[in-house]
Chains A and B, each alone.
Chain A
């Protein structure tokens, strides 16, 4: 093995040195005019071939990432590595951060345009995978899996908690308005607003429909492609829910209110669980037909789970299928952050707006829960903390509510109660997405 390496390195050294020698001999040949012409011809030919080799190497170099790298590419690659590091080292949503992180690296390897390499070049493999994002195919499939995972029984037991899921959608519309004031046009603002829904698939779905870089506005300009920034913002804030929400909870909810104990939810019969997806599907999609792809798949998945006859299908939907789609979605969304499209002022604004929308959504949920408490009496009172779970971010925000409740009363278990606004937040943000889509699509 060592011998082979030695021979190889000697050969490569020779290859690199010989052109230099050849060039030197060329100069000497020019100086000595009396040399034999035939010999000279041979030498020139040789020199030409060396030059050709040099040209080839040069051309090859021009095709490599080293020649084409821009500072933006390097920054994004570092961000991708940080994502992977966070996912592996701190177990921070690894199922999302690792595919997205590797996607960010994939999307930012510098290349020469026109060879069907990049995600935005038609015909490239990545572009075909990205098709599922651009056409909004992946998000409904994710929703199918979520539906097959979710247990709606706490919501059926206590339907009034559904209003908390609606209240948190204030964040969506407030951000929408904020984006308008910052100078985004209507469809872009709509897509940015949905970050407040705290639902990754919904955000991708809506931005792929509204801010996809293809649609043409009434005044003749094309909308910007904001899928990458919006998706990254939505997913990163979802991962940051445990950081963003607790301070707001402590700010808005008094210590006394935080200790309110809720009576345990009643048992829900299987019949009710089976009727829920069908009835909810019909009711919600009649009101907001544009959210049909999302809500249809969500409730379809839930029916698969609850019917008791299609356990096989439900099992596939909540394990294999959602895994496959998550892999594809993560990598392609990551890869869509190609530096020349991603590093813009707009992306920064979107990140800022995303943070604000999360705060507003959380506040909306909490304040509405307090408002509801004014009308509820006795042990029907709800713990206002669960309002924060109205931003979807299933199941993280419910978990945050639970731990926050435990901090003020170590025997107050809120997880089950918080799941109700949590899942209704998913339904609410899908309806909100449908409304925005029907207005602006």
Chain B
């Protein structure tokens, strides 16, 4: 009889945990799904509204940051890139012989083949 109250206590506590646990798990995931169903689209919409202003024409874009970037610099960079690409030829392999093509044929037990094609 001594242990009976303890035992039932545990079980009842178990039920408490069962019910609250399930409620919490469900509420957490419901909250998450509601957030992604409703709150997130609203947030994204607001973000869009904040970031998107009137579409500018290309002539309206200010060139402040590009003031130092003159046509001369562009030409210099272009020339450098062009020259660099051209020079790629100089670093090619100078050996222009035809490579030996090995036949796929491989008679693994052939004595003659073994003596002619040493690995």
To the question of whether A and B form a pair in one complex, the answer is yes
A contact set with B: CB distance below 8 Å: 155-156, 159-163, 165-166, 169-170, 172-174, 176-177, 180-181, 185-186, 189-190, 219, 269, 271-272, 275-276, 279-280, 283-284, 287-288, 424, 427-428, 431-432, 435-436, 439-440
Q: Which residue of A lies closest to B34 (CB)?
A: A159
> Is B25 a contact of A169 with CB atoms below 8 Å?
yes
> Is B14 a contact of A163 with CB atoms below 8 Å?
no
Of B15-23, B63-71, B102-110, the stretch lying at the interface with chain A is: B15-23
Known contacts A170-B22, A272-B40, A435-B21; is-contact A165 B29 (Cβ 8 Å): yes
Known contacts A162-B32, A271-B44; is-contact A287 B24 (Cβ 8 Å): yes
What are the residues of chain B within 8 A of A431 when measuring CB–CB?
24-25, 28-29
What are the residues of chain B within 8 A of A440 when measuring CB–CB?
17
Known contacts A173-B17, A176-B14, A186-B14; is-contact A279 B35 (Cβ 8 Å): yes
> Is B21 a contact of A166 with CB atoms below 8 Å?
no
Q: 1/0 per position for B26-62, CB-CB distance to A under 8 A?
A: 1111111111110010011001000000000000000
Any chain A CB within 8 A of the CB of B11? yes
CB of B54, distance to nearest CB on chain A (Å):
22
What are the residues of chain B within 8 A of A172 when measuring CB–CB?
21
> Is B37 a contact of A159 with CB atoms below 8 Å?
yes
What are the residues of chain A within 8 A of B32 when measuring CB–CB?
159, 162, 280, 283-284, 427
> Is A436 a contact of B35 with CB atoms below 8 Å?
no
What are the residues of chain B within 8 A of A186 when measuring CB–CB?
10, 13-14, 17
> Is B33 a contact of A163 with CB atoms below 8 Å?
yes
Q: Which residue of A lies closest to B23 (CB)?
A: A435
> Is A276 a contact of B36 with CB atoms below 8 Å?
yes
Q: Which residue of A lies closest to B26 (CB)?
A: A166
> Is B27 a contact of A287 with CB atoms below 8 Å?
yes
What are the residues of chain A within 8 A of B6 when measuring CB–CB?
219
CB of B37, distance to nearest CB on chain A (Å):
5
CB of A167, distance to nearest CB on chain B (Å):
8
Q: Which residue of B lies closest to A185 (CB)?
A: B10
Per DSSP, chain A at the interface is helix
Known contacts A275-B40, A436-B21; is-contact A180 B29 (Cβ 8 Å): no
CA distance A190 to B18 in the complex (A): 10
CB of B9, distance to nearest CB on chain A (Å):
10
> Is B25 a contact of A163 with CB atoms below 8 Å?
no
CB of A201, distance to nearest CB on chain B (Å):
18
- The contact of A439 among B17, B28, B33, B37, by CB within 8 Å, is B17
Q: Which residue of B lies closest to A269 (CB)?
A: B44
- The contact of B11 among A180, A424, A436, A439, by CB within 8 Å, is A180
Sample (14) of A-B pairs whose CB atoms are under 8 Å apart: A156-B36, A161-B33, A166-B28, A170-B22, A172-B21, A180-B10, A185-B10, A275-B40, A283-B28, A283-B32, A287-B27, A287-B31, A431-B25, A439-B20
Q: Which 8 A-B pairs have the closest CB atoms?
A: A159-B33, A166-B29, A159-B36, A162-B33, A180-B14, A287-B28, A173-B18, A162-B29
CB of B47, distance to nearest CB on chain A (Å):
8
What are the residues of chain A within 8 A of B34 when measuring CB–CB?
159
CA distance A279 to B32 in the complex (A): 9
CB of B30, distance to nearest CB on chain A (Å):
7
What are the residues of chain B within 8 A of A276 when measuring CB–CB?
36
> Is A163 a contact of B24 with CB atoms below 8 Å?
no
> Is A279 a contact of B21 with CB atoms below 8 Å?
no
Known: A161-B33, A173-B18. 9 other contacts (CB 8 A): A162-B32, A162-B33, A163-B30, A165-B29, A166-B26, A177-B14, A177-B15, A428-B25, A431-B25
CA distance A428 to B28 in the complex (A): 8
Known contacts A173-B22, A276-B36, A439-B21; is-contact A166 B30 (Cβ 8 Å): yes
What are the residues of chain B within 8 A of A189 when measuring CB–CB?
14
CA distance A322 to B34 in the complex (A): 32
Q: Which residue of A lies closest to B19 (CB)?
A: A173
What are the residues of chain B within 8 A of A161 when measuring CB–CB?
33
Q: 1/0 per position for B91-117, CB-CB distance to A under 8 A?
A: 000000000000000000000000000
From A162, A176, A276, A440, residue with most partner B Cβ within 10 Å? A162
Q: Which residue of A lies closest to B21 (CB)?
A: A435
CB of A73, distance to nearest CB on chain B (Å):
35
CA distance A246 to B26 in the complex (A): 25
CA distance A288 to B30 in the complex (A): 14
What are the residues of chain A within 8 A of B25 when measuring CB–CB?
166, 169, 428, 431-432, 435
CA distance A287 to B26 in the complex (A): 11
CB of A282, distance to nearest CB on chain B (Å):
10
Q: Which residue of A lies closest to B12 (CB)?
A: A180
> Is B22 a contact of A181 with CB atoms below 8 Å?
no
CA distance A436 to B35 in the complex (A): 25
> Is A181 a contact of B26 with CB atoms below 8 Å?
no
